[in-house]
Structure 1
Amino acid sequence: MDAFLEWITNNPSYAHYSVLGLACFEALIGIGLFISGALLLSVAIFLYAQQLLSIEVILALAFTGAVIGDQSGFWIGRWIGPAFHTSQFATRYRRHIDRTETLIRRYGWGAILVGRIIPAIRSIVPLVTGISEYSALKYIIFDLLAVGIWTTLLGLAVIGTSSLFAG
């Protein structure tokens, strides 16, 4: 981490890409299980505290990256949905999958919001929502709302935490 922060300090023109990329990668299915939101938060705090990026730029980039990651997961889920439902895994766990899909259809907006806020399931919820054939329009609207709330929380954490290190 220290080496990355030193590299960003020496190459500030890449700071934008680090925020956008980390926000996207932490939401992508598969990759998101290994990229922690704490890494994005740490980098955002550093960039803001060192005045390499303004909070507005950090939040705009984080919002964009998160939407790209979430939407990718949803549309991958829509694409693999039919094949997934006939897979050996789905056949073996049919009862659990049916229950999960029923919950998503009934409480989709809540699942999308909770999935965006909780890091452990952040990259899985969009995929499962897509597999469950949840309405694409509803998903887009609720995802934008959820990412907006998440971005606001990220901004509060960045400003609040960086103020601990100021003066």
Structure 2
Amino acid sequence: MREIAMAVVVNGEKHELTVPPHETLIECLRERLGLLGVKKSCDVQVCGACTVLLDDRPVSACTVLAFEARGRSVRTIEGLARGDDLHPVQEAFVEHGALQCGFCTPGMIMATVALINENPRPTADEVKHYMRGNICRCTGYKRILEAILDASRRMSGATAPNVS
């Protein structure tokens, strides 16, 4: 089987890789680049744990082939914080206790970043609709919803609640 040479920018850093055609993006990120924040769970695009941003759009890394990222930009949870400063979405998740075991959290946070980039002031209903592909098995979604709405307020500089 022929391997595919590719260049990809991951979290702002360019990587030259050679991958087999069947290797998924999650395998490449975790096994080749050591980015373990990308969680492997369902392998069929139903849980959202492996959500990363591919050219700033959320994708399930378990169903994207690694070579499909050739010449593109990938952002993982490891690429959000700036030094010791958490990204506003990460801060909101921590402050609202929007995590329990933490397994789903990286995917939830990456999907939230994509949502807020697309819709800076989503309503609660818009958040629920957008996040339906990200599943948490440990806790309710109330704190996650609160964290997302708070993050959108912080990032937009608003002080008033999002209007439903």
TM-score under structure 2 normalisation? 0.28
The structure showing larger relative contact order (alpha-carbon pairs under 8 Å, at least 6 residues apart) is 1
Higher strand proportion, which one? 2
- TM-score, normalized by length of structure 1? 0.28
Name which one, 1 or 2, has greater alpha-carbon Rg. Answer: 1
As a proportion of its length, which structure holds more helix? 1
